[in-house]
């Protein structure tokens, strides 16, 4: 009798319902499917409290971490434990057990999270394992992306081409096309990349994943087809879904900034953050760094270098994953560090400006900050050069757009600060010799980079010739890059003694983009006239000590006057027209009134054209992101 009872007990697992069939599990899974993640987690944790090794509950907790909270490492850990639990319960053939369906799902989710953690070889092995165990549900097309990320481009390309028209893998055709487009992009076959992305966008049609239109728009931009790029990006914005890894508003913001369409760039940054915040948890977390990278880049181009520095510093201190983009991680980091070094340099200029009129009590702290930033910028320039040169190279980085480029032509001409002018000149000369169809369109951009490098290689005449050529040949849409060329040209013309020509460009910059003077370390030649008062005289002396002002006739004229409370000034251009009126704050004594005027003058005379409010800043950095998915209908209006 005892032997029979033991035998029956041993047979219980064969009859018992698998844990995913229990009522408690079904209730928790129903809450998860209804996106009631807090309730689902509470119910699942209650299950695990009773049964710590319940593999179904472990899987579900992983899914909650993955899709409900965006915590990929925790999801990966739970999926691994769930897999071990199923294999322990069914050691011979888990794929044909009572938990067969769940096991297949666990393998798939485990491969997804491994890929998101950038464990690409593990992801490949898991896909192969699942295809072996479930031959009727093959997902070989999913191998294309991890192969690409491992740099095995040809292997990935051949696999995708083989599967592209295979009826067995028809459900993954869009995935295969998208992977092929990214392979051609990463191997600098831009026309072929564009063809693939256009094809998938046409096949997918309205309501498809916005990544298809966004990728096509990015490829069009890289081919310098800006109008086509904007149309495709805007088409992408019409197709939001919470699980897409695409955010077209960030690319639109950078496109608008390059064209100096700053109000539109500002609005695009706000919508970018609204799009990100309204996405699912894992997408929102995954795209955090990319969105803030767009914000830092655009703010830098706008002239808001203080806010750009804050955002970029936050980014380079938090190394995020890059599994959702084809770009090499070293280049992603290199781009951010490069932009950070530019923001640091502009803030160094601000500190030097402040030092020219600071009180003696403020000087020690300012000098300490200046010394710290100068040491930091030297480190970051070296770091950017190492990151870029070690993997992607200078030659790719100096192209206007592309897989290895900075993708911000308006600031890429400053790359000499990281690599040195000689190395940049050599790289440009190599690029100009390439026999590629897109090089004709790229030549004006390379000419602009060459011109700026020549200035810092003490070849001033060559600098002037190259920059004048760039201004003639650059596309009209590249407004910010043209402004930078003008600012650098001012420095070169002044060194040549061609003051009248320099003044013409300088007056244009003061009207259109005065922040370029700080960006390119240009001083404004001026005569400062004082009414003879102590406050006005002090302001005049301190302004002449500023790196933004240069004593000299034939340039701008600043007329200062003061009453008993404050200093005011009128700036007049070389042609006699008004270039701005500035008014300091009332202070208790002449020195403080003069300092207040100097502060206002530096803040306003070289300010960005667009004026951001605190509300704008909070919307850009996502701190007022009250927008959820139900508000996204406003994004496309």
Per-residue pLDDT of 549-574, as tens digits, reads 999 888 899 999 998 789 999 999 99
Fold match flag (16-138 vs 329-519): yes
Whether the per-residue pLDDT at 477 is higher than 60: the answer is yes
More confident residue, 86 or 205: 86
**Separation of CA 541 from chain center:** 42
CATH topology of domain 524-607: Double Stranded RNA Binding Domain (3.30.160)
Under a CB-based contact definition with an 8 Å cutoff, are residues 322 and 118 in contact? yes
Beta strand 556-562 pairing with 524-530: parallel
Residue 629: DSSP 8-state: G
Whether the per-residue pLDDT at 455 is higher than 50: the answer is yes
Residue 399: DSSP 8-state: S
Whether the per-residue pLDDT at 6 is higher than 80: the answer is no
Split at pLDDT 50, 70, 90, the class of 622 is: low
As a whole number, the mean pLDDT across the chain is 89
**Alpha carbon distance 528, 536 (integer Å):** 10
Superfamily of domain 16-138: Tetratricopeptide repeat domain (1.25.40.10)
**Alpha carbon distance 466, 413 (integer Å):** 12
Split at pLDDT 50, 70, 90, the class of 3 is: very low
Predicted pLDDT at 280:
87
Residue-range domain boundaries for the chain: 16-138, 329-519, 524-607
Predicted pLDDT at 16:
59
CATH code 1.25.40 for 329-519: yes
Split at pLDDT 50, 70, 90, the class of 33 is: very high
Whether the per-residue pLDDT at 248 is higher than 80: the answer is yes
Sole residue written with tokens 């005892």 = 2
Under a CB-based contact definition with an 8 Å cutoff, are residues 475 and 226 in contact? yes
Whether the per-residue pLDDT at 634 is higher than 50: the answer is no
Q: Two tokens at 68?
A: 């409900």
Whether the per-residue pLDDT at 414 is higher than 80: the answer is yes
What pLDDT, in 10s, does the model give residues 511-533? 999 999 999 999 999 999 999 99
The alpha-helical segments, DSSP class H, found in 457-589 are 460-473, 479-495, 499-512, 515-519, 534-544
Split at pLDDT 50, 70, 90, the class of 286 is: confident
Please name which of 543, 401, 570 lies closest in space to residue 477, comparing C-alpha atoms. Answer: 401
What pLDDT, in 10s, does the model give residues 133-184? 999 888 888 999 999 999 999 999 999 999 888 888 888 888 889 999 999 9
Q: What share of the chain in percent tops pLDDT 90? A: 70
Sole residue written with tokens 């951010």 = 336
What pLDDT, in 10s, does the model give residues 79-92? 999 999 999 999 98
One-character DSSP codes across 366-379: HHHHHHHHHHHHHH
Percentages of the chain per state (helix, strand, coil), in multiples of 5: 70, 5, 25
């Amino acid at each position: 009798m005892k032997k029979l009872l033991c035998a029956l007990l041993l047979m219980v697992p064969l009859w018992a319902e698998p844990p995913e069939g229990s009522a408690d599990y079904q209730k928790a899974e129903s809450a998860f499917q209804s996106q009631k993640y807090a309730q689902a987690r509470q119910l699942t944790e209650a299950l695990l409290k009773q049964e710590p090794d319940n593999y179904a509950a472990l899987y579900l907790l992983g899914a909650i971490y993955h899709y409900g909270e965006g915590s990929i490492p925790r999801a990966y850990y739970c999926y691994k434990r769930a897999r071990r639990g199923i294999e322990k319960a069914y050691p011979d053939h888990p794929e044909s057990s009572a938990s067969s369906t769940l096991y297949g799902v666990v393998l798939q989710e485990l491969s997804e999270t491994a890929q998101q953690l950038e464990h690409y070889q593990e992801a490949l092995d898991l896909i192969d394992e699942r295809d072996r165990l479930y031959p009727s549900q093959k997902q070989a097309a999913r191998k294309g992306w991890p192969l690409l990320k491992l740099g095995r481009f040809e292997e990935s390309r051949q696999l995708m081409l083989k599967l592209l028209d295979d009826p067995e893998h028809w459900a993954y055709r869009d995935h295969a096309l998208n992977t092929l487009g990214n392979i051609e992009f990463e191997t600098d076959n831009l026309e072929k990349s564009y063809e693939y992305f256009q094809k998938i966008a046409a096949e997918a049609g309205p309501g498809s994943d916005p990544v298809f239109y966004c990728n096509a728009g990015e490829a069009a931009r890289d081919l310098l087809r800006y109008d086509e790029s904007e149309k495709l990006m805007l088409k992408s914005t019409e197709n939001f879904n919470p699980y897409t890894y695409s955010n077209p508003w960030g690319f639109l913001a950078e496109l608008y900034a390059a064209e100096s369409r700053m109000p539109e760039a500002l609005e695009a940054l706000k919508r970018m953050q609204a799009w990100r915040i309204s996405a699912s948890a894992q997408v929102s977390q995954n795209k955090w760094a990319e969105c803030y990278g767009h914000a830092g880049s655009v703010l830098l181009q706008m002239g808001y270098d203080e806010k750009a520095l804050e955002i970029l510093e936050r980014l380079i201190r938090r190394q995020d994953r890059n599994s959702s983009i084809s770009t090499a991680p070293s280049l992603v980091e290199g781009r951010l560090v490069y932009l950070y070094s530019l923001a640091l340099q502009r803030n160094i200029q601000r500190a030097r400006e402040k030092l020219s009129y600071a009180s003696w009590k403020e000087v020690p702290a300012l000098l300490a900050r200046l010394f710290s930033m100068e040491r930091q910028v030297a480190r970051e320039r070296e770091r950017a050069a190492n990151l870029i040169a070690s993997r992607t190279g200078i030659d790719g980085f100096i192209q206007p757009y592309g897989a290895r480029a900075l993708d911000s032509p308006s600031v890429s001409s400053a790359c000499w600060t990281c690599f040195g002018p000689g190395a940049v000149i050599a790289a440009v000369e190599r690029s100009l010799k390439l026999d590629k169809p897109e090089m004709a369109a790229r030549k004006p951009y390379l000419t602009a980079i060459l011109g700026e490098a020549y200035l810092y290689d003490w070849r001033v005449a060559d600098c002037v010739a190259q920059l004048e050529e760039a201004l003639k040949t650059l596309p009209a849409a590249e407004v910010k890059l043209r402004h930078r060329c003008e600012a650098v040209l001012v420095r070169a013309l002044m060194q040549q003694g061609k003051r009248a020509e320099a003044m013409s460009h300088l007056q244009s910059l003061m009207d259109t983009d005065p922040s370029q003077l700080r960006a390119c370390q240009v001083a404004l030649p001026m005569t400062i006239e004082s009414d003879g008062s102590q406050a006005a005289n002090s302001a005049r002396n301190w302004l002449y000590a500023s790196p933004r002002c240069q004593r000299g006739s034939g340039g701008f004229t600043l007329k200062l006057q003061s009453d008993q409370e404050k200093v005011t000034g009128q700036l007049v251009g070389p042609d006699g027209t008004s270039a701005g009126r500035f008014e300091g704050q009332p202070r208790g004594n002449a020195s403080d009134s003069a300092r207040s005027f100097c502060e206002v003058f530096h803040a306003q005379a070289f300010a960005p054209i667009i004026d951001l409010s605190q509300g704008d800043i909070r919307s850009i950095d996502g701190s007022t992101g009250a927008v959820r998915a139900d508000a996204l209908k406003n994004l496309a209006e």
